[in-house]
């Protein structure tokens, strides 16, 4: 569930990244301590740039572990496996579709038209390649286990990362009886509304 990004969250994001990421519409995953792990971003930035990374990983420990795994060369192995394992390929393709569905929901809640430039592109190499674990792990942390098989797998190899907070059970009522990841609750208007706090902090920092 995407929750509102508070002033305290923006301050934490600034500490995590040294800047405020662009296009923030809410917090997509938190640690059990409440700190942001992943932000949800608008599919089109304020300057009109299409932005495909809907779930942007921010927590330094997770970012470092993704970089460590990427440096090991494991992404090439997993890409090969996606091409050879039909069950894994089907699950990865479903994750791709779920990613696109949630991006569309976020854009609609923010009052944005469909971003045609990235309409069929998700993130991280989906649906056939493994190219960016940061994006795939961001998706797994946001969507929960069982949605993105490669993101879930990467998480299982990580060390010394903060535990993720359990999702609010309330959204389950909107998709009762459905196992389709695209049935996730639509983010609230409050969660996707732009905030003056982000603009104030970002105005003092270089953009990414």
Side-chain half-sphere exposure of 50, counting CA atoms within 13 A:
14
The alpha carbon of 170 is separated from its chain's Cα centroid by a whole number of angstroms, namely 20
State the first-to-last Cα distance of the chain, in angstroms, to the nearest integer.
26
pLDDT at 1: 83
7 sits in which H/E element: helix 7-17
pLDDT tens, N- to C-terminus, the chain (208 residues): 899 999 999 999 999 999 988 999 999 999 999 999 999 999 999 999 999 999 999 999 999 999 999 999 999 999 999 999 999 999 999 999 999 999 999 999 888 888 999 999 999 999 999 999 999 999 999 999 999 999 999 999 999 999 999 866 544 333 333 334 333 334 444 344 444 434 433 333 433 3
Q: Which of 46, 143, 66 is nearest to 97 (CA)?
A: 143
Cis peptide, bond prior to residue 127, ω within 30 of zero:
yes
pLDDT at 194: 41
Tokens 């592109």 belong to 121
Angstrom distances, CA of residue 81 to CA of 55, 85, 127, 145? 24, 6, 13, 20
pLDDT at 110: 86
Q: How many residues does the chain have?
A: 208
The answer to whether residues 43 and 32 touch, using CB atoms and an 8 Å cutoff, is no
At 109, give phi and psi (nearest 5°). Answer: -65, -30
The answer to whether residues 161 and 133 touch, using CB atoms and an 8 Å cutoff, is no
Question: What would the DSSP string read from start to end of 46-59?
Answer: TTS-B---SEEE--
């Amino acid at each position: 569930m995407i929750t509102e990004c508070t002033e305290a969250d923006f301050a934490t994001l600034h500490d995590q990244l040294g800047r405020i990421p662009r296009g923030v519409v809410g917090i997509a995953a938190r640690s059990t301590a409440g700190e942001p792990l992943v932000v949800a971003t608008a599919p089109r930035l304020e300057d009109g740039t299409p932005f495909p990374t809907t779930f942007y990983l921010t927590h330094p420990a997770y970012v470092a572990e993704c970089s460590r795994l990427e440096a090991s060369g494991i992404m090439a192995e997993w890409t090969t496996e996606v091409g050879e394992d039909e069950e894994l390929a089907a699950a990865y393709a479903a994750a791709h579709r779920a990613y696109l569905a949630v991006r569309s929901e976020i854009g609609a809640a923010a009052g944005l038209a469909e971003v045609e430039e990235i309409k069929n592109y998700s993130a991280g190499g989906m649906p056939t390649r493994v190219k960016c674990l940061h994006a795939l792990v961001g998706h797994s942390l946001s969507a929960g286990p069982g949605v993105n098989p490669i993101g879930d797998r990467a998480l299982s190899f990580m060390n010394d990362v903060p535990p993720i907070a359990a999702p609010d059970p309330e959204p389950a009522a909107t998709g009762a009886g459905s196992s389709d990841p695209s049935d996730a609750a639509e983010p609230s208007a409050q969660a996707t509304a732009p905030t003056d706090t982000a603009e104030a902090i970002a105005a003092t920092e270089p953009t990414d």
